[in-house]
Chain A
């Protein structure tokens, strides 16, 4: 009986996570349009993602003739599945998460690699030159973001003395980690843009140059899935930033999940708006930024956090 209850509970949590992630991806698509065209097109921004989804669902789903069919077909599903699995460890309230492993942050960072692999598969499987070039660029992402992202995120578990996301949020009861770890926040957010191929690090999807890059041969529902996965991973990364640095669900008056959603949306909007101020970077410039700036800065951040965690109230509990 208890086993059945457990399965039902897990299924409900999984369904809720998928729905929440879908809503999150929709929110990112709306924010993208709002920030691009302004508030006077708010009604358009709200309706356009749904219209576009309906249009893509009704369109032919073409596959390249001599491509790797299995990789081509599976890549969108792997990308979406990765986003969902990563989202499971994000608590929206005390104990309210898909599951809360003791190594939550580690699990989360490890799961981001299959996402990049899925994107690489999408490019590689097309049997086209543009897909191949875009795959090279995606591979450069894979080796670029992981170290700074992990090093920047590690400041939070250092302060909370736990890798469990719920405990990290609880440790920020008095003071958000983001207040005294601004360098970690900045590095994490830049690395997050790498992970989800967002501007200015969208060379692998680069529109005009490579005709859509890794997405070039996708159409219809599969294209919709890949686009949703890209937006979903972005919102998941922003949500994790809220958990690690901005107190997660904590806040006065409003219910915890609402605070969590509000903070995530605001952070997403801020990051998208700031990213739009910079032109698209070249692959080698991205690599330089990663290895010459982000990695050394993240090591410095670890040292600073290590010292501050001993003194700051709320850190080093």
Chain B
């Protein structure tokens, strides 16, 4: 489950391990993230010099797609692929999905025929796919119907104060400022953003609907996929809900393991976000420092097995491995503190991030925003710089929590007593309705679940922290400079898969 990677068989060095088959040429890749590939793509951009990220399809000779890609996103992907000059190739990376819950998505094999598949959603798997010998057909794109017209209209001229000549700049849906697809229309007067409109839903998989249609075990797997970047958060929220429906209390070992898993997941997300943020600013020293901290935490949690998802007991291979991870967390805690101090004392960075994208704490609370975005507004000015510092400090605290929880791990993995035996069947809970809340990387993830005693949930409702923040984006970006708007959007750390649900 969402435990330290070293304890789960995914070694910390996985991100940067030299590929067995050397990459024998340089690639310029354009990355398209369907919603769950942010950490992987960030690691890839920082890891291997043979693959260089570009941001225009015209500059690419490799199209790299991290699935799943929804039906709504597919037309944008197709038009992007058609803009890549030939010869070029395609590479598809699909996440390791849970056995009973495969995310609905457009069949990429038919959209990009001839594209290779990476063996695993890791940097290593990706490099191996690129270096694999054998025939690799050139990039081809099948036609895909576009169900929507991506149009927006200019507001009446008299409604725009001081505007001289307004231009609409369309960013997205595939853009690097959010983790996953989001389309923005920025009405700009020169470099000044006058208005912002957003179109979300490109990563929507209707997780709540899928959970309602699944049995109680598969529903847990769906819960883990709500935010592919933070699967433990969704799974633990669901596990807690099930426990409350059954009027059970988790054992101390399970509770401790969950605390460790959640803390580890928060730290991992915040540190990878920092790598991404410094990369956007092109601040090389800070980017390198943040990458050195994020890398030991791994890029993804391993897939959840059915029992883990439903009993919510993050598993260790053994207690010794967990204690090694605790030591890693302690070391990282000190290093994160050092990075936060460096950031606080960095004058050029302060010049670039201070006083922009300021958010008022009252407005955030009224909109239901939680997590680091709110903390930054409560602790300080609520600008981009404060959000950066707040996340780094929160990452340090999370690592301390993880270290404490993991240090006391028992030699055998903590589990619920085998009340339901070793079968894969999760019995239906009794009738009832519960609400749970779990502290995730982007804020408090809430879950309301209703059971009518049947073999699947009667009602499921998620309260998603990214969605609350997303609703404020037009208000936040209006009046900003275009170059700032990008930085501000990146500072919000929106996970679009979670926001779209």
Name A residues whose Cβ lies closer than 8 Å to a Cβ of B: 33, 36-37, 41, 44-45, 48, 51-52, 55, 58-62, 129-130, 132-133, 136-137, 199-200, 202-203, 206-209, 211-212, 215-220, 223, 276-285
Contacts and interface: CB of A to CB of B under 8 A. Distances in A.
Interface stretch (B108-116, B346-354, B366-374, B391-399): B346-354
Interface residues of B, number: 41
Nearest to A200: B282
15 contacts: A36-B284, A51-B25, A59-B61, A60-B86, A133-B169, A206-B483, A218-B58, A218-B59, A277-B285, A278-B348, A279-B283, A279-B352, A280-B352, A283-B481, A284-B191
B28 A284 contact: no
Contacts of A279: 278, 281-283, 348-349, 352
Contacts of A276: 282, 284-285
Contact of B49 (A41, A55, A61, A132): A41
Contacts of A206: 483
Contacts, number: 116
A136 B86 CA distance: 30
B168 interface: yes
Given A216-B56, A216-B58, A282 B481 contact: yes
Among A212, A219, A283, max chain B CB count under 10 A is at A219
B55 A52 contact: no
A208 B162 CA distance: 29
Interface in B59-97: 59, 61, 85-88
Nearest to A278: B348
B295 to A, nearest CB: 15
A208 B191 contact: no
Contacts of A58: 87
A51 B177 CA distance: 30
A276 B285 CA distance: 7
Given A132-B167, A133-B482, A278-B283, A215 B85 contact: no
A219 B85 contact: yes
Contact of B56 (A51, A136, A202, A215): A215
Contact of A277 (B85, B348, B482): B348
B54 interface: yes
B177 A44 contact: no
A207 B170 CA distance: 16
Nearest to B349: A279
Nearest to B175: A208
Contacts of A129: 167-170
Contacts of A132: 167
B486 interface: yes
Contacts of B190: 136
A282 B169 contact: no
